[in-house]
Structure 1
C-alpha cells in the first residue's frame, strides 16, 4: 500500500486508487506529472516529478504552470509503479512565498546515509532572489518524510536543479536561468563549494533549461531541453570534465509532434539498460501546461553517441497477461479500421479505448508475459452497439489463434468472457483484430 501522506480524503482516495500503472506511457494516469528526475536507490527506481494541477479561482495563474507539491513514485521492475504520496508542499517550506504554486522541476540524490531533495520555487524574501531559487529537503528514506532546510542554497538563482556526484566523490549542482550553470557542492550537499559558472559552449539562440548530467565510460553527457524552433527538443553535449568545456553533439528527442511546448527529462541505467524519462501532454492534449511523465529505452552507438529516441505509447517493461492489458498503449496499429480515443473526454484520467470501425482493424501489444502455467479464459471490456466478433492471436497473423470472442449487442460497456482455444507459454505479442464491419470499442483485455 502506498504511503499516502496527503492533505485531504479525496487526495488519499486518489492515491490509493492509482497505485500502479502497467508498463506503458504515460506512467501515471491518475494525476498530472512532469519533469521526471529518475534515480536508482537500493535496486529500485524512484521518480521525482513535478505535479501539475489545474488553476482554480485564487489558486494559481490561469493558463500557466500551477504546482503546489511533489510526489515520489517507485518501481522494482519498471512495470508496477507505486505512488508514495506528497513529500514536500509549498506552504510547509519556511522560505517559500505562500501560495506561489511554483514548485517546478526537482531532483534527488543520496549521500552519506541521507537523501537530498532539491527543488526550485519563489522565495517570500525578495532580497534572497527576485526570481526563483533552489532549496533542499533532507530525509533518511527516499520516500520521506523530507524536512526542508530553513533557507535556500545561497548563490543559486534559477530553476531545474540537477545533482551529479563524480567518481572522486565531488558533487556538482546544475541549474538554468537563461543559461545553464554549474558549481561544486560542499560535502554537506547544502552549500556551494565554488562560484557558479555558465556553461557557455551550448547553443546561444533559443531557450535552454532543464540540465541533466551523467557520466558513461569517462564521458560526461550534459543533456538539456532547447527551443531550436518553436517547441523544446532534447539535446546533448559532451565533455571530459563535469564543468566542461562541452561540445554540442546532437538531438536525443525531436520536438513534440502535437506541439507540447515543454519537454524535461532524466537518463539512467538500470539492470544493464539505459532509459530516458520525459514528459508529454497525453492526458491534456488541448492544454500543454498539464503534462504526464513517460519512459522509453535509450541506446548508445559504438562511438558513444546517443541514438535518437522515438517516443512510444507502449513504453518499456512486461505486462502480466493476468493484469488488464491496455491495448490503446499499442506497439503497432493498423493504418485503417482502428483508432484510439478517450473513454470519456470530460474525465480523461479514465484513460483511452481502442476503436475498431471495420474488419481491417487490428492492434498489436508487445511484451505480454503469459507465464508457464496454462491460462484458460480471456476476459475483455467492450462496447458494440450492433454486436461484434474479435479474434486474439499470439505473435501476429502467423501465430496461433488464442480465442474468438463474441461481443453481444449493447450500447453500454460490458465484460465478455471466452475460453482459450490455444495457449503459448512465455512472452509474446498480443494481436487483437475485428472480424466484423460493425464498430466495436475495447477498454482492456485480461487472461485468466
Structure 2
C-alpha cells in the first residue's frame, strides 16, 4: 500500500500547487529578464529564452507574451533571435521593447562577430512582430563587455533616453527615430550616495577581482521610468552573494541619482541574478522579476514572476517578498470568442511551438498534464457546445474540460483521433450537459487512451464555447 499512498500524496500536492500557483507566470519556457510595457489596454512582456543545463547563460532568442487580466498570458513565440541580426554571433542577453508613434523598437544586446558586446534594435509595426533589424549593424558598440542590458524611457517632452551597463552605468539621448542618438555616451558617476556603494578592486595583485561595499552597489539590469515628477532607476544590486533589486531616484532623467534602498533582497529565488521591470496597469502597480524556481531551472534557467505592490505615500517603493500565488486577475476572459490554447495561467506537461501555418500552439502534450485558464466568465447563459482545434500524428488522446479544479465538474470530453499528422488540424466538438454560469477557472486535462503511455498525445491550437 505504501507506493499507492505516496503516489496519492504527490498527486495531491501537485494538484494544490496547480490550483493556487501563479509564479512563475510562464511554465512552458524559461523566460528571464522580463521587460513589460502597457499598450492599448494590454500588457506585453518581452523576455529572454534560457536554455538550462549548461554552466553559463545559453540564450539565442527572445520571446513576447501578452495579457489583459495579468493572469492569463498569451504566447506569441519568438519574433527575434540572434539570427535576426547578421552582426550577432552569441550571448543574447536582456532586452526591452518601447513603442513610439505606432512603431515598436526592441533593444537587444548580443556578442558581435568581432567578439564585442553591442546593443542593437529591431523594429515592427506590431508589439508582437514580425520584427526586423532596423540598422543592419549595432546601435551601440563600445568595445566593452559592459555594453549590455538596455533600458529606454521617453520623457514627457519627447526626448528618449537609453541606459545600459554592467558594473558601470551609461546613457545616451536617442533621436526621435529611436534608431540613432545624438551627443556623447555619458557614464554616470557612482557613489554610496547615488547607488549605495561602489565596486572596487580587492587587491591589485588579484587580477582586479571585484568586491562589494556592505550596503549595495549597481551591478546591471537598469530599468528607467517616471512616476509623477520623479524618475526611478531600478537596478540589480548586490546582497549576500546574490543580486537584489534596488533603486535610486532623481529629479532629472540623467541624474544626479539618490540611492533609496532595496526592493527585493535575500529571497529564495534559486537564481544568482535578478532583473526587474515596473509598470502600472488598471490602477495597480506591478513588479516583474525572475526566479530559477521552475522545475529544472536555476541561475541559468530563469522564469518571469510578478508581484503587486503599492507605493508609499512619499513615492518610495516598499520591500517586496516573492510569492508562489502571484497576482490576482483584474479582468475576466470571454469563453464565447476564440481563445488561443497558448493563453495560459498555468501549464504542466506541455510546451508551445510555432509554425507558419497556425502560428503558436500548445505542443508536446503528455498524459497527466493540463492547462489552467483563470477567471473565465460564462455569463448568465450556459454554453451547450465546446470546440477545439487539435492535431495528432499518432493515436491521439483525450481532452477533458473541467471547471474550478482538476477534478471539478466536467463540462466536456473530446476523444482526439489520429488526424493525419501533427500539423493536420481538425476542429472537434462535443456537447455540454452540465449547466455552467458565472466566473470559473477552467482546466484542460490531458489523458491517453493507454494509461501507461508516455508519448506525445496531440497538439492544441485554439478553443471556444458556443452558447
For residues 110 and 145 of structure 1, the distance between their equivalents in structure 2, rounded to whole angstroms, comes to: 14
Residue 140 of structure 2 is aligned to residue 142 of structure 1: no
Query: Within 2, Cα distance between the matches of 1:152 and 1:199?
Result: 25
Q: Is the 8 A contact 2:49 2:60 kept in 1?
A: yes
Aligned to 1:197: 187
For 1:379 and 1:77, the matched residues in 2 are separated by 19
User: Is the contact made by 1:117 and 1:136 (CA closer than 8 Å) also made in structure 2?
Assistant: yes
TM-score normalised by L of structure 2: 0.63
- Judging changes above 3 Å, is the alpha-carbon distance between structure 1 residues 193 and 218 closer, same or farther for their aligned structure 2 residues? same
> Aligned with 1:91: secondary structure?
helix
Provide the aligned C-alpha RMSD in A. 4.0
Higher RCO structure (Cα 8 Å, ≥6 apart): 2
Partner Cα separation in structure 1 for residue 349 and residue 132 of structure 2: 40
Q: Specify whether residues 184 and 425 from structure 1 end up closer, same or farther in structure 2 by C-alpha distance, changes over 3 A only.
A: same
SS at match of 1:86: coil
Change (3 A) 1:290 1:171: same
- C-alpha distance after superposition, 1:305-352 (max 9, x if no partner): 11222222222226879999xxx98xxxxxxxxxxxx989xxx99899
- Alignment partner for residue 36 of structure 2, among 28, 35, 38? 38
Q: Compared with structure 1, are the counterparts of its residues 214 and 177 closer, same or farther at alpha carbon in structure 2 (3 Å cutoff)?
A: same
Q: How many residues align?
A: 338
Tell me if structure 1 keeps the 8 A contact 2:221–2:235: yes
The match for 1:213 is: 224
* SS at 2:150 equivalent: strand
**Distance of 1:63 and 1:81 partners within structure 2:** 30
Structure 2: give runs of 5+ residues left out of the alignment: 1-18, 199-211, 351-363, 384-400, 410-433, 442-467
Listed one character per residue, the Cα deviations across residues 140-180 of structure 1 (whole Å, up to 9, x for unaligned) are 11111111121111455511100000000000001013112
CA distance in structure 2 between the aligned counterparts of 1:183 and 1:22, rounded to whole angstroms: 44
* Shift in Å, 1:380: 7.7
Contact 2:31–2:49 (CA under 8 A) maintained in structure 1? yes
Alignment CA distance shift 1:192-1:23 (3 Å): farther
Aligned to 1:248: 259
SS class of match (2:79) = strand
Match of 1:124 among 82, 91, 113: 113
What SS is found at the alignment partner of 2:76? strand
Residues 374 and 147 of structure 1: CA distance in aligned 2, closer, same or farther (over 3 Å): closer
Moved more, 209-218 or 279-288: 279-288
Q: What SS does the aligned partner of 1:33 have? A: coil
Q: Say which SS state the counterpart of residue 159 (structure 1) adopts.
A: coil
Q: Answer whether contact 1:29 1:351 (CA < 8 A) is retained.
A: no
Which is further off, 315-324 or 205-214? 315-324
| 2:144 paired with 1:153 | no
Partner Cα distance (1:349, 1:261) in 2: 31
Q: 1:381 to 1:26 in 2, by over 3 A?
A: same
Secondary structure of residue in 1 paired with 2:165 = strand
- Cα deviation digits, residues 283-314 of structure 1 (max 9, x gap): 14663210110111121011111122222222
TM-score w.r.t. the length of structure 1 is: 0.65
Q: 1:282 aligned to 269, 293, 302, which one?
A: 293
* C-alpha contact (below 8 Å) 1:30/1:349 kept by paired residues: no
Structure 1 residue 276, shift from structure 2 partner: 0.8
